[in-house]
């Protein structure tokens, strides 16, 4: 049922906005987890593949290429560390606490209850913002290190072919 402008209360606006932000945070959290899994997958695939391809060559690997490979291994280790740290952020805050909501629902009217729920959503989103920023920053570092790992592997391959 559509509400007319005269039916929209400040409680409704606050509740809708806070609920939407909480939904966006949950979607962002899942997107970050997916990105983290992809980074680990790619990083863990390209390194052994590169080593395998270089191992089948009958030519000796030059010292400069070995240094580039060592750089790739260091990047891989750092990717794992940052990905692990980001995966330690496992849950987001969700409010209101449902038993408290049930108790309040029997005592308070619609607009008062709706404002209380909206305020709980706002509190949850504030706490979630910190966790999401931390998670995104760690995944960002893992992603940057993945690119650097690829650069080192490409450099090693080029130096081996020269």
Per residue of the chain (162 residues), give pLDDT as tens.
Answer: 455 666 788 888 888 999 999 999 999 999 999 999 999 999 999 988 888 887 777 778 899 999 999 999 999 999 999 999 999 988 888 888 889 888 988 898 888 999 999 999 999 999 999 999 999 999 999 999 999 999 999 999 899 887
Structural tokens at position 62 = 């030059």
Residue span of the structural domain in which 74 resides = 9-161
Q: Identify whether 135 is part of a domain.
A: yes
Q: Identify whether 138 is part of a domain.
A: yes
Q: Are 31 and 143 in contact (CB under 8 A)?
A: no
SS3 74: helix
pTM: 0.81
Q: Identify whether 134 is part of a domain.
A: yes
CB atoms within 10 A of CB 82: 23
Exposed, middle or buried: residue 45 (CB in 10 Å: 0-12, 13-18, 19+)?
exposed
Q: Identify whether 26 is part of a domain.
A: yes
Q: Count of domains in the chain?
A: 1
């Amino acid at each position: 049922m559509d509400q007319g402008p005269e039916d929209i209360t400040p409680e409704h606006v606050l509740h809708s906005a806070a609920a939407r932000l909480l939904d966006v945070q949950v979607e962002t959290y899942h997107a970050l987890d997916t990105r983290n899994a992809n980074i680990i997958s790619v990083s863990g695939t390209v390194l052994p593949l590169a080593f395998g391809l270089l191992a089948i060559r009958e030519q000796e690997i030059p010292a400069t290429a070995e240094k580039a490979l060592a750089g790739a291994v260091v990047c891989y280790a750092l990717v794992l560390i940052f990905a692990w740290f980001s995966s330690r952020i496992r849950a987001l805050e969700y409010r209101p606490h449902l038993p408290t909501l049930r108790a309040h629902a029997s005592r308070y009217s619609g607009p008062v209850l709706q404002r209380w729920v909206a305020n709980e959503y706002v509190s949850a989103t504030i706490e979630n913002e910190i966790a999401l920023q931390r998670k995104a920053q760690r995944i960002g570092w893992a992603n940057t290190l993945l690119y650097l790992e690829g650069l080192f592997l490409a450099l090693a391959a080029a130096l081996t072919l020269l």
